Structure 1
Amino acid sequence: MKLLRVGVKGKEKPAALDKNGKFRDLSSHITDLNSDTVNFETIKKLESIDLESLTEISNSERIGACINKPGKFVAIGLNYSDHAAESGMDAPSEPIVFMKATSSINGPNDDIEISKDSKELDWEVELGIIIGKDTKNISEKEAENHILGYCLVNDVSEREWQLKKMGQWVKGKSHDTYGPIGPYLVTKNEISDINSLNLSLDVNGQRMQTGNTDKMIFNVFFIVSYLSKYMTLQAGDIITTGTPPGVGMGKKPQVFLKAGDTIRLSIDNLGEQNSKVVAE
């Protein structure tokens, strides 16, 4: 299934994409897509519904973040060796883990704010993992049974705040609007091989990033297993898994986002995002 949230900000309705690509209102069956409902029991219930019998929602409606208020938004850094190289850093021997504030979550086509204090705003197309049940200290072999689905993530990053302001990366990753997710939560049965998906990102119509998840240093199953040894992952949690090369920080000379720039990103089978950068 492809699940989404549709409507004005703060008043989105849960919806599903039917076989003809139409939005169908799920609000008579679930109240929202959040940590209470993004689980395997809900998916089983929704799969039994005849989507074509549900009220249609116009495809012109705004699409919100595909999950509302997840418990955790976990991120993996430098997970593509060629991105590590362009960043001037060694490829990690273990996953680099940081958190993005859940308040950074944004709709897939909503504006991205550039703060008046921002000097080095950057882009990162990434694959997001959605957890479907409590996950604690599991093996890599067990990991797939704990993954509900996947989504597209733009791990928007303010590089000066991330790398030059001391402390952890979280400061450069957590400003409002720095976590566009969606458009869809795509259940895992819709993806034939999660470790072989193409990713791309354009800025102002110019291709900046091209990659494939087969170039990940740590694949999705390893990541879920690894994180579960350090924290309990819970239904609705999001894990964003790193970005391929082509970020602005790695360009020579470096290129950073400015007000008025447009960003388009996509991943096979997960849809696309189209955002505009605006002054805060």
Structure 2
Amino acid sequence: MSDTLPPLREVIAAHGLRAKKNLGQNFLLDLHLTARIARAAGPLDAGTIIEVGPGPGGLTRGLLSEGAENLVAIERDDRCLPALAEIAAAYPGRLRVIAEDALSIDYAALGPAPRRIAANLPYNIGTVLLTRWLANPHDFASITVMLQKEVVDRITAPPGGKDYGRLSVLCQWLCETSALFEVHPAAFTPPPKVTSAVLRLEPRAEPLAPAPRTTLERVTAAAFGQRRKMLRAALKPLGGAELCLAAGIDPEARAETIPVEGFCALARALAEN
């Protein structure tokens, strides 16, 4: 279905929408790009599609024009609501706008499964939102979001490099992670100072390896909190070399070299002791 609404620059001008830095806003205006993101988030025609921070509705329009039948958009900036209402009128019965803070939403209550998140996330809360969603990963069939490229690099990083860390372990433990494509700052108004990238997470049926989540988070916090040190030193408050040996991990290794399964083994060993 083609989009017959005015160009986004006209919508922004008509409603006086200036992006607010304190809300982490960078409006995405290229409708070819928003359609590409929408296709990456698919399939869109079943269950519930959830968009966070739609702003003037660039990605919203992409999702609807690419076939979203039940789209829920969460927007805390009241200034954007009239523009989103115009989109809802152009796609009757397919868009519901919730004027609330995305950090306070019960996502499982927004609509029937399968639920898919598709969003150009505000930079200032992107990582916080991801971590909250992963507290209940099976609420979602997929999560497709735009973030700073450096965050996407951290989430998808394999062991062995500086990008690999706590966020890599958590996301890869719970999900299949894919960095899809980069987005140049010029695609946004105002242009951010960093390159962005689109990330897709697909929750695993079961975590990559068994481990108590709170214990795994303790182990990764200690290990990566002193990533220059050998694990026997970084993990000393949790058991140090003895813990490593119980988990079958070299005590002289450093955190960035340990795969997700290795951290799970450390978490199990800690929980058993």
> Which of the five TM-score ranges fits, normalised by the shorter chain?
under 0.3
Q: TM-score, normalised by structure 1?
A: 0.25
Higher strand residue share: 1
Larger relative helix fraction:
2
